[in-house]
Amino acid sequence: MAPAEIAGACSFRESFRGRQVYRWIARGASSFDEMSDLAKSERERLAALFPRLYSSEPAAELEDADGSLKIQLRLRDGAAVECVLLEDIEGRKTACLSSQVGCPMACAFCKTGTLGYLRNLGPDEIMEQFHLLQKRRGEISNVVFMGMGEPLLNLGAVRKAVAILTDPEGIGLSARKVTISTCGLVPGILDLARNGPKVRLAVSLTTANEELRSELMPVNRTHGLAELKAALLEYQAATGERITLEAALMGGRNSRPEDARALVRWVRPLQVQVNLIPWNRVPGLPFVEPTREELEAFLDILEDSGLVASRRMRRGRGVMGACGQLGDTLRSE
């Protein structure tokens, strides 16, 4: 909740009390008892009204050897969702947050896409993932909506979460430290372009081959590559921001030199950074990782064309917490 909403829900006579509670929650308070600038009688009244400050609770926690942390949260209705904390070699911590229980987009190479879709998360359930990860690992510097679900199908809740994350009286993150990732949902991209928030945008492109993308990513059957590119051009014109394109590479499927050249042709004149992600193994899915030679040849073609491209560092694979693996609480063998 925003401060004014908290003031109303708590029946405060003074509006500034809402801001006090808001700031305490932003700092990670677990109960009203911790809110020391409220009178004891007021804390007791609020604790009686709201016995639990959080609606979800951790059901499973897995730590990878690389320092990554994956947490499964049990929600108020018994559903489960996962979030991940990734730490780079310089110690910067990134929270990977989910926006839906399951995912309706059914991308063929993604574990979450095999689960089906149950419901959207509320902004409270999104923020509780952030708070829990921060309590476990300390200050978080970046947030990416790249967890379970398609954020642009739950844009209202995501917008409210972003507003709280970037509020100077709340979490206080810079909007440039927040990324919304989409599989290419054109109406949502246009909504972001026209109505904000002005955060970073990442798009899972995977391939610039129309037929193959439709096979791997059903969204392409509704919003094809030409429509997606037009939406990204409008987004770039409205925001002036460089877009990140994600390409999960699967050996022998979309990792060939001709796939790289097709991507180069499709990108122009967009200003992008391309992240190459070697496919992360998901048991039961009919794909293999690209060889090192495939990956390096693909990257060379992109760089030789003048594109800004990099290979994504692998984090969280040991706990099924890497890109495309969420929805399985088991450790990877």
Active-site residue list: 82, 323
Contact 100, 149 (CB under 8 A): yes
**Three-state DSSP state, 42:** helix
CA quadruple 76, 78, 110, 156: dihedral, nearest 10: -30
77 exposure class (CB count in 10 Å sphere: 0-12, 13-18, 19+) = exposed
The residue type at 29: A
Strand-strand pairing, 100-102 and 93-96: unpaired
Q: Which residues lie below 8 Å from residue 22, measured CB to CB, with a gap of 6+?
A: 1, 2, 3, 6, 169, 170
CA quadruple 192, 146, 109, 296: dihedral, nearest 10: 100
**Three-state DSSP state, 200:** strand
